[in-house]
Amino acid sequence: MQRRALITAGLALIALLASGRVSPSHAAIDPYEMVGKTLGLSKDQIQGGLGSVLKLAQEKLQKGDFDKLAGAIPGASGYLDKAKSLGAVTGPLKDLGGLNGALGKLGIKPDTASKFLSELPGIVSKTGGEDAGKLLSSVLK
C-alpha cells in the first residue's frame, strides 16, 4: 500500500513538473544532505555558509540576477539570516577573501571551504536550473 502511494505521489510530481505548474526551483534544497555530511560540516555551518555565499552574491550580482539566484534556492532569505545570526556575516564581504573569512568564522577550514564552494553551483543547477548555477559560479570566481 505504501509503495502504491509513493508511486502515485511521484507520478503526480512528474505531471506537475511537466505541466509547468511547479518548476525545479520549487524542489527542496537541503545542502546538508547534498554536501554537508560528505564534508563533515554541521547543519549550522552549511546553512551559515550558504547564507554567506548568498550575501556575496547579493553584493556582486545585479538585483535582477540576484533575485533569479535567490528564487532558485528555497529559503534563501533564511540562509542569509542564519549567516548573520551565527556571526559569519557582520558587514559587506566584498570578495572571495571576505567570503572565506565568513566561512572561517563558522569553523570551516580553508580546504573544506574550497570543496564546499566548488560543490554549490552544481547543487544549485540541479535544484534551480543551469542559469542559477552559472550565476553562482560567476560570483565564486
Domain boundaries, the chain: 29-139
Beta carbons within 8 Å of 21's beta carbon, 6+ residues apart: none
Other Cβ atoms less than 10 A from the Cβ of 58: the count is: 18
Q: Give yes or no for residue 31 having a pLDDT over 70.
A: no
Looking at residue 30, its pLDDT comes to 64
Looking at residue 16, its pLDDT comes to 35
Q: Give yes or no for residue 52 having a pLDDT over 60.
A: yes
pTM over 0.85: no
